[in-house]
Amino acid sequence: MQRKVKAYIEEHHLLSSGQPVIVGLSGGADSVALLKVLCDLGYHCFAAHCNFHLRDEESDRDEAFACAFSESMDIPFYKTDFETLRYAREKRLSVEMAARELRYDWFETLRVELGAQAIAIAHHEQDNVETVLLNLVRGTGIKGLIGMQPRNGYVVRPLLTVKKQEILDWLCFNHLDYVTDSSNLSDTYTRNFLRLDIIPLLEKINPSVSEAIVRMAENLTDAELLYRYALKGLLEEIREEGEGFRIESIQHAPAPKTVLYELLQPYGFNRSVVQNIYQSFAEESGKVFYSATHRLLKDRDRLLLASLTGDEEKDKEYRIYPEDKEICCSVKLFLRREVLIKENEICKDKRVATLDWNKLRFPLTLRHWREGDWFIPFGMKGRKKISDYFTNNKFNLFEKQRVWLLCSGENIVWVVGERIDHRFCVDKNTKEILIIHFFEE
């Protein structure tokens, strides 16, 4: 087994000599074998043990064994304790997922502290088979069917090509003890149910079902690489400048639903929401969809993305005083007070507002649009609702939410970056002006 692991490490470039590696040591057969093999191969190892306190005295027994085994091999031992059940409740996770998050977060913290090259985990061939089957019954794409990979970031799996029985035989041959997790003997957990009940049934159809599943996963690994390569070019064609996608381009793609999912999955949209988004293509504009981090607007012939972090700004107001020279929030305003020399020097750029200083009442207020807001656009005499201005100028929902209004008392002075109010413009009686330059962050 040692030669097999050595060849696998070299084939996939998992570890290099001369740099330490953290080994996840539960005390079970797989982790004991991994630690021993890596040490025998000459790697400088640190043992890391997590006590999840899920099995009362048995959890403490495992910790004591892992510590003693590390000491017997003269290997530095690190351990941590987790309140796993409380974490699972707080995060609304299954106990299995909670333990996984806690374990890998701590392993990574330890890796950084110790300057280790990698975190070696004792997943073996049977674990990989269970992962593929678990993903299959939950519903997955190609990525889920390729199972565990030899490397995932700093996490490496040197035993992934080794069978469980090979590990047990090797431990027996080398007279190495290990502890048995009693929960592995129960079919309460999904993985155990697959291991103890489903896989034995599949073996009645094909005694070599595990090898067949691993072979399928290996074949699909290359298919996944080709898929990603082709998809990258397709997504680049569809993506617009900024965070937008043209619906027609998605619809003309070879597999539009899949393309839409691949476009939106990085922003946290799951398949169910993506299906609803796809159905909205035939509906009217204005529908908004949410993930945990983003919102997406179906706006006529486009999909527009925006981060939710900007929502915290929507109710904020900023005060601007006569002495202020610069305002920074999600926009930047640079302010300059001058004596008016020639009226024809006034800048016509809509990102620059030139206002009659003496018509303003300080402090000015910078805020977002509210229902009922109105102003008198420059060059006009009558009122216009801000909402009507948005409609006439084809503002989408996100653009409306991003617009700032500069106000003097209750009156709107400037729809920032758009148009000033006629009541505050420069006229023949103006002596001093306030020039404001607008820059978006």
Mean pLDDT of 251-278: 89
140: left (phi over 0), alpha (psi -120 to 50) or beta: beta
| Residue 156: DSSP 8-state | E
Q: State yes or no: pLDDT of 242 exceeds 80.
A: no
Do 274 and 359 fall within a single domain?
A: no
Per-residue pLDDT tens digits for 367-382: 988 889 999 999 888 8
H or E segment and range at residue 135 = helix 125-138
Do 305 and 320 fall within a single domain?
A: no
Do 244 and 332 fall within a single domain?
A: no
Lowest-confidence range among 41-50, 222-231, 338-347?
338-347
How far, in Å, CA of 339 to CA of 427, rounded?
A: 13
Does 382 or 155 have the greater pLDDT score? 155
Q: State yes or no: pLDDT of 240 exceeds 80.
A: no
CATH code of 248's domain? 3.30.465
Domain ranges, residue 289: 239-310
Q: State yes or no: pLDDT of 415 exceeds 90.
A: yes
Is there a domain that residue 218 lies in? no
Q: pTM of the predicted model, to two decimals?
A: 0.62
Is there a domain that residue 226 lies in? no
Do 354 and 433 fall within a single domain?
A: yes
Number of domains in the chain: 3
Between the alpha carbon of residue 162 and those of residues 8, 155, 364, the distances in Å are 10, 17, 71
Q: State yes or no: pLDDT of 232 exceeds 90.
A: no
pLDDT computed for residue 3 by the predictor = 93
Q: State yes or no: pLDDT of 347 exceeds 90.
A: no
Amino acid 431 reads K
Per-residue pLDDT tens digits for 94-123: 888 899 999 999 999 999 999 999 999 999
Do 123 and 198 fall within a single domain?
A: yes
Do 187 and 95 fall within a single domain?
A: yes
CATH code of 426's domain? 3.50.40.10
DSSP assignment of 46-97 = EEEEEE---STHHHHHHHHHHHHHHHHTT--EEEEE--HHHHHHHHT--HHH
How far, in Å, CA of 126 to CA of 340, rounded?
A: 81
Final residue before a domain boundary, out of 269, 295, 310? 310
Q: How confident is the model at residue 49 (pLDDT cuts 50, 70, 90)?
A: very high
Do 142 and 268 fall within a single domain?
A: no
Do 207 and 252 fall within a single domain?
A: no
Do 84 and 184 fall within a single domain?
A: yes
Tokens representing residue 186 in the block: 């129960």
DSSP assignment of 246-302 = EHHHHHTSSSHHHHHHHHHGGGT--HHHHHHHHHGGGS-TT-EEE-SSEEEEEETTE
How far, in Å, CA of 392 to CA of 388, rounded?
A: 6
Is there a domain that residue 228 lies in? no
Lowest-confidence range among 206-210, 361-365, 391-395?
391-395
Do 51 and 167 fall within a single domain?
A: yes
Does 324 or 65 have the greater pLDDT score? 65
